[in-house]
Amino acid sequence: MKETRYIFAIKEAMEEEMDRDENVFLIGEDVGLAGGSFGASKGLYEKFGPERVVDTPISELGFTSLAAGAASCGLRPIVEIMFMDFVTCAMDSIVNQIAKMRYMFGNQYTVPVVVRMPEGGGLNAGPQHSQCLEAWFAHVPGLKVVMAATPHDVKGLLKASIRDDNPVIFIENKTLHAMKGMAADAEDDVVLPLGKADVKLQGSDVTIVTASRMVHESLKAAKILEQEGISAEVVDLMTIQPWDRQTVFESVAKTHRLVVAHEAVKQFGFGAEIAAAAAEEIMDELDAPIMRVGAPFAPASYSLEKYYVPSADNVVSAVKSTLERTL
């Protein structure tokens, strides 16, 4: 293990997988000579050359479609969408082609495409560069959706995503890019399983289910609550499609209260799916209403972004609300 930044852990995962498998290549806008808009591919063009680190025109639909064809022919493309907001231009390729190709052709070939995209607010990038749209993709059969919170997790999950024979939407929160933390060395080759959650903090009074940046806000909230004698368990989903029902439900069976927190707008976010599943499948384990934390149902505001993006205080309020109520 070594200390590194989240963005460098992404680069290391891609580099190690490109070293391991010559079929892996990276494609997107400014991924080559510029080293990526956030520096995730710095140095890869010089090491692997223009055939494996491919700079493209500004055409998300075009190069994502190219990746779909390449994957069906045996290659393993990593597609970088510069901002998640721009994935709207490639929705036909991802939703109608990549997600369905393996199913429509009777599993005659695999579709190992990883689509990386930074999301989220907090950097005053405005309403067209700050959205969290993971729920769109989690709703589409055929896609896996990954959201990593730490350098260790982003590296291990990205390596797993690249090796997966199915398409993976790999979402990185921009505010985490500069975060420092421990990550595995290349020789350790740590690959984390997709679809498995991680209990980041043990607790007994309430379960907080979350992912990505909100893992850290939830851990901050847990420290605040601890000072008031409230013990919160924080479950990091890591993969929101498929999500780890067993770990979540086991935690709720222990605490009997549930809060789901994500940065995306609260309405129709992945928290709604988890809340509905808990209500349908383990209602007897719940002692209070389920609470959700999310952004307001409005475009991200440039000038009011610090109030728009959910924080630890919002999680604390939700926890107290569920503790004050009973079914």
Q: State the pLDDT at residue 248.
A: 98
Q: State the pLDDT at residue 304.
A: 83
Tens of pLDDT along 46-91?
Answer: 999 999 999 999 999 999 999 999 999 999 999 999 999 999 999 9
Domains of the chain: 2-188 (3.40.50.970), 198-323 (3.40.50.920)
Q: What is the DSSP track for 16-27? A: HHHHH-TTEEEE
Listed as ranges, residues in the chain with pLDDT below 50 are none
Q: State the pLDDT at residue 280.
A: 98
Give the whole-angstrom CA distance, residue 182 versus residue 90.
34
Is residue 152 among the annotated active site residues? no
* DSSP helix/strand/coil, 149: coil
Q: State the pLDDT at residue 237.
A: 98
Q: State the pLDDT at residue 87.
A: 97
Q: State the pLDDT at residue 258.
A: 98
Residue given tokens 């990549």 in the structure block: 98
Q: State the pLDDT at residue 122.
A: 83
Using alpha carbons, select from 183, 187, 190 the residue that is nearest to residue 1.
Answer: 183
Q: State the pLDDT at residue 124.
A: 83
Q: Catalytic: which of 129, 177, 216, 256?
A: 129
Q: How many CA atoms within 13 Å lie on the side-chain side of 263? A: 29
Give the whole-angstrom CA distance, residue 259 versus residue 242.
19
Q: State the pLDDT at residue 177.
A: 96
List, in sequence order, every residue forming a beta bridge with 5; answer none if it has no partner.
180
